[in-house]
Chain A
Amino acid sequence: VKRNLLVAAAIAALALAVERSFRLEDDPIRSLVMADPVAAALFDRYQERSPFRGRIFVEMEGLPPAEQARLSETLARAGYREVPFLATPDPARLLDLASQLPAGTVERLAGEEALRGRATEILAVAALPGGGEALRQLEVDPLGVGPALLGRFLGVGKGGEGGGAPPRVFESPRPLVYAEVEKVEEALAALSPRVHYIGADFFAVENYRAVRRDVLLCSTLTLLLTLGLFLWFTRRWVLLWLLGVGSLVSYLAGVLAIRVFYAEIFAVVLVYTSTFVSFNTESLVHLSGIEEGRRARTLVGVWSAIGTTLLGMAVMLLGRSVLVRQMSIASIAGLLAFLVFLVPYRRTVDGIRFRTVPLPGWTAPRWLPAVLCGASAAGLILVGPPRVETRIDAFRYQSAALGREVDHFSRRLDAASLGDVVAVPAPGSPSEALRPLAAEGLLAWDDHPLARFQDPPAQEEALAALRARWDGARSLLARITESEGIRLELAGAPPGRILGEWDYLEILGEVGPLRWSDEAGGRRFVHAGLRRVPPDLAARGLVPLGPRTHYDLLLTDLSRQLGWLFLAGFAAMVVYLAWIQRDAARILYVFAPVLAVALGFAAWSRFTGTPLTIVHFMGFSLVIAIAVDYTAVAVSTDHGEVELSKILLTGLSAVATFGVLMLARHPILRSLGATVVAGALPSLAFALLVRLRHAPGGAR
């Protein structure tokens, strides 16, 4: 009673600590950060200036006004506040671009007809309730240079950037209430395709919804299947109780361990913690009911299994992906916490007995594992390294409806040459840096703001026209407004200055929604939208700023890194097992099925043209962490009947746990489940059916 109370108190304390510190992050994309600090800084600053954060965008031009009003009401009820597409630019900063208006445009703005038209517009607006502030615009900018500049450089009043009317923008409520976002998404989806919508909120809610369903489904199925397996193999509830409570301890310890290093825990990592049951099953089953006469050999097998699992997880800590690190931290902490949890119950664990299952088996010669490993290695060399590539679509869930909206807005951005924006290193002038890209046809020069940059003589001409026409225009406007009973102090001509390309891009970035130049790591960059992304993007020194290309590149880079870490973990396991097993044939037996599986994956990837993704590598790490245990325990215990039955139980439990992940909606979990099942099943079959002949001289 004291022991159970103590354990209950420890669990309660852990739960309290988790409850106090727990913060969930639903969108796994936010876990991704570029390793290169220059690239990361450029991307972050571009995204900060980007008007896409904390907002949703809705195109509702296709709806009649009454329906638009109803939709706006739905959005307002959910806490979305309509905000302007563009932030109000600082009028003085905008007028710094005055020299960039063509002299002809200045002449037109200063013409009597244009001035009378502008006065009519502003006086009509001023007549509206609260409209008097419009008169201030006339005071500071009598000719309307600001609106003309906005029209010329930002497309304002001409349909916005990207053609067509700009979408209406709604600021997201904080904190986000998923139930409200769901209602909004349903309302918008019901109006599609007359309405188009996009925003991070929809991804967050869809991922949340998918994860919520996956957690419920996977946890329930895992629990039921494990329950059935355990009852059949042990006919006792105590093991299940230990597994259930121990897995709760694992989960809490894993989450707390993540919290020590990270402020937020990714929801998908929480779903992943349901796989702890599988690791814990292995430890519990192999530590249970050890026969006294075989204790030494069994413990070699158990520590081989636990050690390789921990090694497999530990190398993942060296990776850069926060998501993978969180999974690794949770696994290590969870496994260690489970082992600590078992200490007070060691006598109970010792007393458990397992149903033995007679399994057919074939005793293989001692050279067979060497041949298998050699053949797999040769096969891997022959097949060659598979293509490694991870695309953002494989990393987060999106419904078909949201996918269509992504396509729609991607097309709009592509049409405006803003789909694949890159930062181009520019040691000289920005146009010199962009010219080679334009010459290759990679860049739509006409869509770039530099295409509208006026050279100094043209700027001189524009400023001269402004100075020459300003006073006359001012007098005319003063006469018009005075006749209406309005008194204005109309501003004098803006000082105007001759701009260089860098000044021009900087001002444009400040007054508009997009940054066009930046400086990082002591280097200057000019931003440009590409028509297509060249395969040698990194070799050219181009830094992707568009989320799609940026994350694809980042994930591919992380996948390669994880691949190397996987190999490092594999090597560490070989060294560890060499130290603990001290027999080459046994070590080769342990790794033979894993190498065969690796060959299988490489061949599948090469011959089907399917690239290996970051999720495959995460899966491979789990495969060697789990599957190596089967062969390690089997060969360490000389394929004893009880141990083989235990392997059957743990193997079936692992296949069940990861198998149910294949029913998940979230692509990461689905792919992870399929990879682990495909990798673990051959190892399980090998460990159960292939027995290694004893060493000559009876050494075991």
Chain B
Amino acid sequence: VIAAAAIGAMLLAAPALTPEALQARHAGARSLTADVVQTKEGRYWARPLTSHVRLRWTPGRVEWETLDPVPSTVVIEGDRVQVVSGGGSRDLGAQARDPRFAALVRFLRALAAFDLTALEGDFVLAWGPREVVATPRPGSSLSMVRKVRLVFGDDLEVRRIELESPSETTRLEFQRVERVR
């Protein structure tokens, strides 16, 4: 009985959060769609700004659609960044070539794809039981990020991301995540 209980407990236990487990969870994904509630607080914000966002990811393309309070969409495709707002769209030409912004785009691409190899290029990753804390490597172009905390559920799906930068804290609550393989 004890043995059966032990085996049952082992079978029911949540998988441990490891790079391999996370990579296995996200490997082969062809797309991801998530509803996210984003809260920003910091120096530039008169009061905490909460916005509702729909994140869409396919290999090579990330769409960050802010539904409210001010609808706009940022599309990252390769090195190209496009802002769609108020019926018009603008290519962020010069802005996208800014090294800091290019680093941010790279980070967001890696984050949306859960590309640990790419993330490790810029960050040192510390693995906890249900969270990963990423701190930029010395000399990284991502000087605008101090720390990123990724919290995962028992199913190894991302639940929350907290991002600290010198001027603000961003908290992302993932409410619905759909992944197509």
Binding site for B on A (CB under 8 A): 61, 64-66, 68-69, 72-73, 76-77, 81-88, 117, 120-137, 147-148, 150-151, 156-158, 160, 165-166, 168, 482, 484-488
Complex partner residue of A120 from B83, B94, B115, B117, CB under 8 angstroms: B83
Which B residues are CB-close (under 8 A) to A485? Answer: 45-47, 49
Which B residues are CB-close (under 8 A) to A488? Answer: 44
Complex partner residue of B79 from A125, A130, A156, A168, CB under 8 angstroms: A168
Which B residues are CB-close (under 8 A) to A72? Answer: 118
Contact A130 B44 (CB under 8 A): no
Contact A130 B92 (CB under 8 A): no
Contact B163 A130 (CB under 8 A): yes
Query: 5 tightest A-B contacts by CB?
Result: A65-B60, A157-B94, A84-B99, A132-B168, A157-B93
Complex partner residue of A129 from B93, B115, B170, CB under 8 angstroms: B170
Contact B165 A130 (CB under 8 A): yes
Which A residues are CB-close (under 8 A) to B99? Answer: 83-88
Q: Say yes or no for B108: interface residue by CB 8 A criterion.
A: yes
Q: Identify which of B79, B85, B166 gathers the most chain A CB atoms within 10 Å of its CB.
A: B79
- Given contact pairs A125-B95, A135-B44, A147-B98, A69 touches B113 in the complex (Cβ within 8 A): yes
Contact A130 B145 (CB under 8 A): yes
Binding site for A on B (CB under 8 A): 38, 40, 42-47, 49, 51, 59-61, 64, 66, 70, 72, 74, 77-79, 83, 85-86, 90, 92-104, 106-108, 111, 113, 115, 117-118, 120-122, 141, 144-145, 161, 163, 165-168, 170, 172
Which A residues are CB-close (under 8 A) to B46? Answer: 482, 485-487
- A sample of 5 inter-chain contacts (CB < 8 A) reads A61-B78, A83-B99, A85-B99, A133-B144, A168-B79
Contact B61 A65 (CB under 8 A): yes
Which B residues are CB-close (under 8 A) to A484? Answer: 70
Which A residues are CB-close (under 8 A) to B117? Answer: 73, 76-77
Contact A120 B90 (CB under 8 A): yes
Which B residues are CB-close (under 8 A) to A157? Answer: 93-97
Distance between Cα atoms of A65 and B75 in the complex (Å) = 13
Whose C-beta in chain B lies nearest to the C-beta of A79? B121
Which A residues are CB-close (under 8 A) to B74? Answer: 124-125, 127-128
Known A83-B141, A86-B97, A125-B83; 6 more pairs at CB < 8 Å: A76-B121, A120-B83, A127-B51, A130-B165, A157-B95, A158-B94
Q: Identify which of B61, B170, B172 gathers the most chain A CB atoms within 10 Å of its CB.
A: B170
- Given contact pairs A84-B103, A487-B44, A120 touches B85 in the complex (Cβ within 8 A): yes
Contact B170 A132 (CB under 8 A): yes
Which B residues are CB-close (under 8 A) to A148? Answer: 94
Complex partner residue of A76 from B38, B104, B120, CB under 8 angstroms: B120
Contact A121 B83 (CB under 8 A): yes
Q: How far is the CB of B149 from chain A (nearest CB, A)?
A: 12
- Given contact pairs A127-B72, A147-B95, A68 touches B78 in the complex (Cβ within 8 A): yes
Q: How far is the CB of A595 from chain B (nearest CB, A)?
A: 60
Contact B165 A133 (CB under 8 A): yes
Which A residues are CB-close (under 8 A) to B103? Answer: 84
- Given contact pairs A124-B74, A128-B108, A486 touches B44 in the complex (Cβ within 8 A): yes
Distance between Cα atoms of A73 and B115 in the complex (Å) = 9
Which B residues are CB-close (under 8 A) to A137? Answer: 98
Contact A84 B102 (CB under 8 A): yes
Which A residues are CB-close (under 8 A) to B108? Answer: 128-130
Whose C-beta in chain B lies nearest to the C-beta of A118? B95
Which B residues are CB-close (under 8 A) to A117? Answer: 90
Distance between Cα atoms of A135 and B103 in the complex (Å) = 16
Contact B106 A82 (CB under 8 A): yes
Whose C-beta in chain A lies nearest to the C-beta of B166? A133
Complex partner residue of A81 from B43, B45, B51, B121, CB under 8 angstroms: B121
Which B residues are CB-close (under 8 A) to A166? Answer: 97
Which A residues are CB-close (under 8 A) to B44? Answer: 126, 132, 135, 486-488
Contact A147 B60 (CB under 8 A): no
Whose C-beta in chain B lies nearest to the C-beta of A144? B94
Which B residues are CB-close (under 8 A) to A150? Answer: 94, 97
Distance between Cα atoms of A81 and B138 in the complex (Å) = 13
Distance between Cα atoms of A134 and B96 in the complex (Å) = 11
Distance between Cα atoms of A125 and B106 in the complex (Å) = 14
Q: How far is the CB of A62 from chain B (nearest CB, A)?
A: 11
Contact B94 A124 (CB under 8 A): no
Whose C-beta in chain A lies nearest to the C-beta of B74? A124
Distance between Cα atoms of A172 and B43 in the complex (Å) = 37
Distance between Cα atoms of A404 and B17 in the complex (Å) = 46
Whose C-beta in chain B lies nearest to the C-beta of A155? B97
Contact B165 A128 (CB under 8 A): no
Q: How far is the CB of A51 from chain B (nearest CB, A)?
A: 11
Contact B95 A121 (CB under 8 A): yes
Complex partner residue of B141 from A73, A84, A122, CB under 8 angstroms: A84
Contact A76 B118 (CB under 8 A): yes
Which B residues are CB-close (under 8 A) to A134? Answer: 101
Q: How far is the CB of A687 from chain B (nearest CB, A)?
A: 63
Contact B70 A123 (CB under 8 A): yes
Q: Identify which of A72, A130, A137, A485 gathers the most chain B CB atoms within 10 Å of its CB.
A: A130
Distance between Cα atoms of A168 and B172 in the complex (Å) = 30
Whose C-beta in chain B lies nearest to the C-beta of A134? B101
Distance between Cα atoms of A646 and B92 in the complex (Å) = 78
Whose C-beta in chain A lies nearest to the C-beta of B82? A124
Contact A124 B72 (CB under 8 A): yes
Contact B104 A131 (CB under 8 A): yes
Complex partner residue of A69 from B40, B59, B92, CB under 8 angstroms: B59
Complex partner residue of A73 from B78, B118, B145, CB under 8 angstroms: B118
- Given contact pairs A120-B90, A123-B70, A135-B167, A129 touches B101 in the complex (Cβ within 8 A): no
Which B residues are CB-close (under 8 A) to A131? Answer: 104
Whose C-beta in chain A lies nearest to the C-beta of B85? A120
Contact B165 A65 (CB under 8 A): no
Distance between Cα atoms of A87 and B139 in the complex (Å) = 11
Contact A132 B167 (CB under 8 A): yes
Whose C-beta in chain A lies nearest to the C-beta of B94? A157
Distance between Cα atoms of A123 and B102 in the complex (Å) = 16
Contact A133 B167 (CB under 8 A): yes
Whose C-beta in chain B lies nearest to the C-beta of A70? B59
Q: How far is the CB of A133 from chain B (nearest CB, A)?
A: 4
Which B residues are CB-close (under 8 A) to A125? Answer: 74, 83, 92, 95, 101
- Given contact pairs A132-B42, A133-B166, A486-B44, A68 touches B72 in the complex (Cβ within 8 A): no
Which A residues are CB-close (under 8 A) to B170? Answer: 129-130, 132
Complex partner residue of A121 from B90, B118, B172, CB under 8 angstroms: B90
Which A residues are CB-close (under 8 A) to B107? Answer: 130
- Given contact pairs A88-B99, A125-B92, A132-B165, A64 touches B60 in the complex (Cβ within 8 A): yes
Distance between Cα atoms of A689 and B159 in the complex (Å) = 91
Distance between Cα atoms of A76 and B144 in the complex (Å) = 22
Whose C-beta in chain A lies nearest to the C-beta of B161? A129
Distance between Cα atoms of A450 and B70 in the complex (Å) = 45
